[in-house]
Amino acid sequence: MSFAQFFAAYWWLMFPVFGMLMAFVGMFQTERRSNQTMDLIKSYVDQGKDPPPELLKLVAQQSDWDMDMSGVGGGSKSNRAWTFVVFLALAAGFGTGYYFMRAESWSFAFLIVAVTMGVMAVGALLLLIFGRKS
């Protein structure tokens, strides 16, 4: 397989790979910013001074943002509800696609995605019901 054939068959993979790369860079920058903020607070504490209130507010905002984005029981209840709704809609959409295309040999792909999104919707619902109350 030549490069031209490979690219023609898998050109669409550049979008998820780029998205994963950008997510990794964003996580790295967020971690570095948090570490720098904590190092600055440690330097104030080592000098025997109280850190400025603005710096403490920044740390609180960063930790709130990290909890919102963690997905492990974090985030507001409306964010978790929207996650459930999105996964449920995706499961329903791919399930409908499977129903209409079930005679085709490749329709199992729709079924796999529908089942996966259904499982994710159930997980999001469980987090919505039993997750942290905030």
Q: Tens digits of per-residue pLDDT, 70-110?
A: 544 455 667 788 999 999 999 999 999 999 999 998 899 99
For residues 60 and 107, is the Cβ–Cβ distance under 8 A? Answer: no
Quote the pTM value.
Answer: 0.50
Q: How confident is the model at residue 132 (pLDDT cuts 50, 70, 90)?
A: confident
Residue 33 has pLDDT above 90, yes or no: no
- Identify the residue whose tokens are 């025997």: 48
pLDDT of 134: 56
The 3-class SS string of 44-88 reads: HHHCCCCCCHHHHHHHHHHHHHHHHHHCCCCCCHHHHHHHHHHHH
What are the tens digits of pLDDT across the range 1-31? 899 998 899 888 999 999 999 999 998 998 8
pLDDT of 126: 92
pLDDT of 73: 46
The 3-class SS string of 108-120 reads: HHHHHHHHHHHHH
Task: Tell me how many degrees the CA angle 20-12-71 measures, rounded to the nearest 5.
Answer: 30
Mean per-residue pLDDT of the chain = 86
Residue 58 has pLDDT above 60, yes or no: yes
pLDDT of 18: 93
Q: Which region, left, alpha or beta, applies to residue 51 given φ > 0 means left and ψ of -120 to 50 means alpha?
A: beta
